[in-house]
Amino acid sequence: MHIEDLLKKKNIKLTSARVTLLKLLEAAQKPLSYEDIKESISMDKATFYRNMTKFEQEGLLNAFESNNKMRYFELKLTPHAHFVCIVCHRVECIKNIDISLADYEIHTVVINGKCKNCI
């Protein structure tokens, strides 16, 4: 589904800034923070977070906070875990872990530890 159609389906006002944000997340191979994409967008930090909160409320995004207090966002596609290095703060998606629990709806799982480069 195109980003524009997704916004229309959720009754979210279509703006070029919102389309840009969602396209950046769609193209990303991992969750992104404001710091990761601030050079690619033309909006202030408050507007960025206001839009991301709206997307999250409408069920378009998963979000989590890492151990360095940065908030990361990704399009809500399939449930999977994330690994956050406690030393270098690198974030990785981990697709091969079964995180299904009976009678629960899992949105995101965050595993903290040291990556192979920081051990």
Provide Rg for the chain, Cα atoms: 15
Residues 8-63: pLDDT tens digits?
999 999 999 999 999 999 999 899 999 999 999 989 999 999 999 999 999 999 99
Which residues have C-beta within 8 Å of that of residue 29, sequence separation ≥ 6? 93
Q: Is 89 left (phi over 0), alpha (psi -120 to 50) or beta?
A: left
Residue extents of the structural domains in the chain: 3-113
> Distance between CA atoms of 59 and 107, rounded to whole angstroms?
10
3-state helix, strand, coil in the chain (%, to 5): 35, 20, 45
Q: Given pLDDT bands bounded at 50, 70 and 90, which one contains residue 1?
A: low
- Domain 3-113 of CATH type 1.10.10.10: yes
The predicted model scores a pTM of 0.83
Q: In 3D, which of 97, 77, 99, 87 has the Cα closest to residue 31?
A: 77
